[in-house]
Amino acid sequence: MGPIIGITTRRREVQSSAGTSPTHTLNDAYTQAVERAGGHALLFVSQDPATAAAMLDRVDGLILSGGGDIHPAAYDGPDHDSVYGLEPNRDAFEFALIREAMARRMPTLAICRGLQVLNVALGGSLHVDIQHDIDGANDHFLTGDPVYETPVTVNLEADSLLAAICGATLAGVNSIHHQSVKELGAGLRSVGTSTDGVIEAVEHEDADWPMLGVQWHPEFLSDKADPFALALFESLISAAAG
């Protein structure tokens, strides 16, 4: 049996036989990408942060998935009309997960919101809205067909693990976010930026922690057999296999 990868979920209101119900959800693209890479998914629902250690005892690796915004209060950020999908309970649980994963040096892939959770958990801050905060920034919140395309070019640091996985220092990616890293959290380094200066990828200075944070959504690109996206998940599964 391949490594077991814990993946965080989000709460949404969905229609059920009982009417509109709050439900823990995760796009199937995540689990398919993990299985494609040789792993098995175990979904984590947001709960008491004190359970983080026990939850990670059950898995070999961790994916922090995408979703709504982190509450600005978590990084002393301003309110903004674009902020959406706040889940303070999820924030607290995922902050605890990432700190525990770092303590264990557990293989981790932080995707979109997940990268932002990682950054804030380690003391960093966010641009509350990219186009509001960064002069000349492009619209990074693309939806529809572009989620399966690669319209954004990311420059990768040549000495990064990410460049080694990609096999190049330029990567084409998708983009479904309106927030991004502002001040880096403790121990993090930016290893990928888009052409308009937005931080798109981070790694940790501790080489013993196999962790990657990417602002794009490789799970969608994996569905289209994008080789870089596939390699990201394969790298996680390989590290989780020990």
Q: Which string of DSSP letters, residue by residue, matches the chain?
A: -PPEEEEE-EEEEEEETTEEEEEEE--HHHHHHHHHTT-EEEEEPP--GGGHHHHHTT-SEEEE---SPPPGGGGTPPP-TT-----HHHHHHHHHHHHHHHHHT--EEEETHHHHHHHHHTT--EESSHHHHSTT----B--SGGGGS--EEEEEPTTSHHHHHHTSSEEEE--B-S-EESSPPTTEEEEEEETTS-EEEEEES-TTS-EEEESS-HHHHHHTT-HHHHHHHHHHHHHHH-
**Catalytic residue (one of 112, 127, 140, 204):** 112
Q: Could you read off the pLDDT of 61-77 as tens digits, one per residue?
A: 999 999 999 999 999 99
Q: Is 112 a catalytic residue?
A: yes
The arithmetic mean of pLDDT across residues 47-60, rounded, is 98
**Catalytic residue (one of 87, 200, 217, 234):** 217
For domain 4-241, give the CATH number.
Answer: 3.40.50.880
pLDDT for the residue numbered 181: 98
**Domain chopping of the chain, boundaries:** 4-241
Q: Is 178 a catalytic residue?
A: no
Q: Could you read off the pLDDT of 135-183 as tens digits, one per residue?
A: 888 889 988 988 999 999 999 999 999 999 999 999 999 999 999 999 9
Q: Could you read off the pLDDT of 93-138 as tens digits, one per residue?
A: 999 999 999 999 999 999 999 999 999 999 999 999 999 899 888 8
Band the pLDDT of 7: cuts 50, 70, 90: very high
